[in-house]
Chains A and B, each alone.
Chain A
Amino acid sequence: MAKQTFSVGQVLTAAQMTSLQETAMGGGAASAKTASYTLVAADAGTTISMTSTSATTITVNTGLFAAGDTVFIQNLGSANCTITAGTATVNTASSLALAQHESGTLYFTSAGASTFYKSAGAVASSGGITLLSTTTLSGSSTTISSISQSYKNLYGIVYGLSYGTSNNEFVMLPNNDASSAFFNGVGASASSTVAAFGVNAQSIWLTGNPTNSLRTSTENAWTFEIQNYTAGSLIPKTFNVNGKFRDSGNTFEARQFSQGGIIGVGAITSLVFKTLSGYTLNSGTVLLYGVN
Chain B
Amino acid sequence: MDKPMIRIHDLATDKVIDREMTDEEFEAFEAEQAKEAERKAEAEAKAAEKQALLDRLGITEREARLLLS
A-side residues, CB < 8 A to B, are 82-85, 89-97, 132-133, 135-148, 168, 178, 192, 209, 276-278, 280
Contact = CB atoms under 8 A, between A and B. Distances in A.
Given A139-B4, A209-B43, A278 B32 contact: yes
Interface string B1-23: 00011111111111110100100
Contacts of B43: 209
B11 A95 contact: yes
A91 B11 CA distance: 10
Given A209-B43, A276-B36, A278-B29, A143 B9 contact: yes
A90 to B, nearest CB: 6
B33 interface: yes
A140 B12 contact: no
Contacts of A148: 11
B interface, over-half SS = mixed
Given A85-B15, A139-B18, 5 more contacts: A140-B4, A141-B7, A144-B9, A146-B13, A278-B29
29 contacts: A85-B13, A85-B15, A89-B13, A90-B14, A91-B12, A92-B14, A93-B12, A97-B14, A135-B7, A136-B16, A138-B7, A138-B18, A139-B6, A139-B7, A140-B6, A141-B6, A142-B8, A142-B9, A143-B7, A143-B9, A145-B12, A178-B32, A192-B62, A209-B43, A276-B36, A276-B39, A277-B33, A277-B40, A278-B33
A266 B36 CA distance: 25
Contacts of B33: 277-278
Interface string B50-69: 00000000000010000000
Given A178-B32, A277-B36, A278-B33, A132 B11 contact: yes
Contacts of A89: 13
Residue among B7, B10, B15, B18 having the largest count of chain A Cβ atoms under 10 Å? B7
A94 to B, nearest CB: 8
A84 B6 contact: no
A147 B14 CA distance: 11
Nearest to B37: A277
Contacts of A84: 14
A144 B13 contact: no
B66 to A, nearest CB: 12
